[in-house]
Amino acid sequence: MLLGLALGVGLALALSLALGLGLALGLGLALVLGLALGLGLALGLGLALGLGLALGLGLAFGVGLGLAFSVGDPPSP
C-alpha cells in the first residue's frame, strides 16, 4: 500500500510540475513574441520559471521514487 501511495504521489507531483514547466516556457515564449522591447525580461522570466519548475520536477520525481523504493511495501496485518 505504501509503495503504491508513494509512486502515486510522486507521479502526480511530477505530472503537475511538468505541466507547470510547459506553461512557464510557453509564457516566456509568448512574452518574447508579444513584447519586442522587453525581449531580455521575457527571456529571463521564461528561463527563471522554467528552471525553477524543472528543479521542482526533478525533486518531486526523485522523492517519489526514493520513498517508493526505500520504504517498500510492508506486509498487511
Do 67 and 10 form a contact (C-beta atoms < 8 A)?
yes
Q: Tell me, yes or no, whether 12 lies in a domain.
A: no
Which domain covers residue 29, as residue numbers?
Answer: 24-70
Q: Tell me, yes or no, whether 16 lies in a domain.
A: no
Q: Tell me, yes or no, whether 49 lies in a domain.
A: yes
Query: What cell numbers appear for 70 in the block?
Result: 526505500
Q: Tell me, yes or no, whether 57 lies in a domain.
A: yes
The CA-based dihedral angle spanning residues 13, 18, 22, 24, taken in that order and rounded to the nearest 10 degrees: 50
DSSP state of 73: -
Q: What is the rounded distance in angstroms from the CA atom of residue 71 to the CA atom of residue 17?
A: 24
**Average pLDDT, 10 consecutive residues per value, the chain (77 residues):** 68 69 65 56 67 73 72 59
The domain tally of the chain equals 1
Q: Tell me, yes or no, whether 28 lies in a domain.
A: yes
Give the burial class of 24: count Cβ atoms within 10 A of its Cβ; 0-12 exposed, 13-18 middle, 19 or more buried.
buried
**pLDDT on residue 57:** 74
pTM beyond 0.75: the answer is: no
Q: Tell me, yes or no, whether 3 lies in a domain.
A: no
Q: Tell me, yes or no, whether 54 lies in a domain.
A: yes
